[in-house]
């Protein structure tokens, strides 16, 4: 990360099924003002949010969220790592208090959680075997050639693939990026559906085995906005977070904190509001 966060509780709750008693029963802002630990939940999604040594929260969404929380005067923070598909259930079961994993603001998710105002805008891409032997540019080729798409359980790409006519039998769902790359490398899938940032990272890891398709060839509605997610009950904390975010988003300090992960001014969200994303994505 761009700076050392010595205040983070390194005794992180790592793994699925970790149950925290109903600390969320008290509204989150009141707990934060009392100096209680605030738990941030994320999966292993490089470069968005992922655990480092002793579960230190790395990735640009974690760096961003920690910057906003520090601006709010919150420094007592504990990371909780789980699979992507467990993030929203874990939040609503009070296993952690905030999702910093880098979630697209989608209408289907807005039904279950509240999002901050957008922190950035991002698109999707595929990883495919080097040379792209099936000529995959978007979902049309997967659908029309009866190819297999691998993606993560709970990823937006599952919903998009179905919207684009890809049959359920042709959508392989796995826990996360490591398994997506493995399926494409082994030939068990013809393409891996992920965010462009994730695709680029997987290609770098693959020793030349996969390449990244052009994100501009994807359906226009797959350009999405990302937010930090909160429980529906924590409206006061969300309002305070959004207020602090207004003074942090796009500042030199924020851009310096996220620069090492590839986030630049090109990813700033502009004037789009969460209400628009919830209604249109």
CATH number, domain with residue 117: 3.40.190.10
CB neighbours (10 Å) of residue 270? 8
Residue position matching structure tokens 């609503």:
92
The domain total for the chain is 2
Within a domain: 40: yes
Same domain (yes/no): 182, 234: no
Same domain (yes/no): 115, 212: no
Residue 55 has a pLDDT of 87
Query: 141: which strand partners?
Result: none
Taking every pair of Cα atoms in the chain, the longest distance, rounded to a whole number of angstroms, is: 58
Same domain (yes/no): 112, 241: yes
Same domain (yes/no): 204, 242: no
Within a domain: 68: yes
Within a domain: 31: yes
Same domain (yes/no): 146, 215: yes
Same domain (yes/no): 102, 145: no
Residue 53 above 70 pLDDT?
yes
β pairing state of 50-51 and 98-104: unpaired
Within a domain: 3: no
**Predicted confidence band of residue 150 (pLDDT cuts 50, 70, 90):** very high
251 lies in which domain range?
13-121+226-280
Residues 87-112 pLDDT 10s:
999 999 999 999 999 999 999 999 99
Same domain (yes/no): 205, 114: no
Residue 8 above 90 pLDDT?
no
């Amino acid at each position: 990360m761009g700076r050392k966060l010595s205040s983070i509780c390194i005794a992180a709750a790592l793994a699925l099924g970790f149950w925290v008693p109903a600390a969320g029963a008290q509204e989150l802002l009141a707990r934060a003002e009392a100096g209680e630990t605030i738990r941030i939940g994320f999966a292993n999604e490089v470069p968005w949010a992922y655990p480092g040594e002793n579960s230190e929260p790395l990735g640009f969404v974690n760096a961003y969220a920690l910057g906003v929380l520090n601006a709010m005067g919150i420094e007592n923070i504990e990371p909780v790592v789980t699979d992507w598909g467990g993030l929203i259930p874990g939040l609503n079961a009070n296993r952690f208090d905030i999702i910093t994993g880098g979630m697209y603001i989608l209408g289907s998710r807005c039904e279950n959680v509240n999002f901050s105002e957008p922190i950035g805008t991002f698109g999707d891409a595929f990883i495919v075997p080097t040379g792209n032997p099936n000529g995959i540019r978007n979902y049309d080729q997967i659908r029309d050639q009866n190819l297999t798409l691998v993606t993560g359980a709970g990823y937006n790409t599952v919903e998009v693939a179905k919207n684009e006519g890809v049959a359920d039998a042709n959508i392989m769902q796995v826990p996360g990026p490591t398994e997506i790359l493995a399926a494409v490398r082994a030939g068990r899938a013809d393409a891996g559906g992920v965010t462009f940032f994730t695709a680029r990272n997987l290609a770098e890891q693959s020793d030349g085995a996969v390449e990244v398709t052009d994100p501009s060839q994807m359906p226009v509605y797959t350009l999405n906005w990302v937010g930090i997610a909160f429980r529906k009950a924590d409206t006061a904390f969300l309002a305070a977070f959004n207020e602090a975010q207004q003074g942090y988003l796009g500042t030199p300090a924020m851009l310096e904190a996220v620069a090492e992960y590839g986030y630049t001014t090109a990813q700033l969200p502009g004037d789009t509001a969460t209400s628009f994303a919830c209604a249109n994505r």
